[in-house]
Amino acid sequence: GAGVSQSPSNKVTEKGKDVELRCDPISGHTALYWYRQSLGQGLEFLIYFQGNSAPDKSGLPSDRFSAERTGGSVSTLTIQRTQQEDSAVYLCASSLAGGFYYEQYFGPGTRLTVT
């Protein structure tokens, strides 16, 4: 079946512009996660959606970052007034349900470059 898809695969933007990154999770998966991976840094958690619960935003690095998940499916990560330090690969993952037990399926990522 179809895996997690993300778009665009690459995005180059100028410093100060806003960007939107999209994630289509696996159908039927109630949990959705955003992570980012910077050069020289590991994978860091950004935000977690589980069903209709309020999202866990504890990983968002600043208030320039926000995300929404419409209809329990597609999610959009928005970065406002982008900075060069926002350059990274942004990864989306989904799982059948949230919590410790379910394996997470990752998309291929969106490579964001801020010039």
Partner 1 sequence: DAKTTQPNSMESNEEEPVHLPCNHSTISGTDYIHWYRQLPSQGPEYVIHGLTSNVNNRMASLAIAEDRKSSTLILHRATLRDAAVYYCILRTYGGSQGNLIFGKGTKLSVKP
Instruction: List contacts with partner 1 (CB under 8 A).
Output: 4, 31, 33, 35, 42-45, 48, 50, 56, 59, 91, 93, 95, 98-101, 103-109
Nearer to partner 1, 14 or 40 (CB): 40
- Which of 97, 92, 83, 84 is closest to 110 using CA atoms? 92
87 sits in which H/E element: none
Find out whether 25 and 94 touch, Cβ atoms under 8 Å.
yes
**Which of residues 82 and 95 has its CB atom nearest to partner 1 in the complex?**
95
The minimum distance between CB 1 and partner 1, in angstroms, equals 15
Buried b (16+ CB within 10 A) or exposed e, 62-101: eeebebebeeebebebebeebeeebbbbbbbbbbeebeee
Q: CB 107 → partner 1: shortest distance, Å?
A: 6
Q: Are 59 and 46 in contact (CB under 8 A)?
A: yes
Q: How far is the CB of 29 from partner 1 (least distance, A)?
A: 12
Cβ proximity to partner 1, 14 vs 27, nearer residue: 27
* Least spacing, CB of residue 15 vs partner 1, in Å: 25
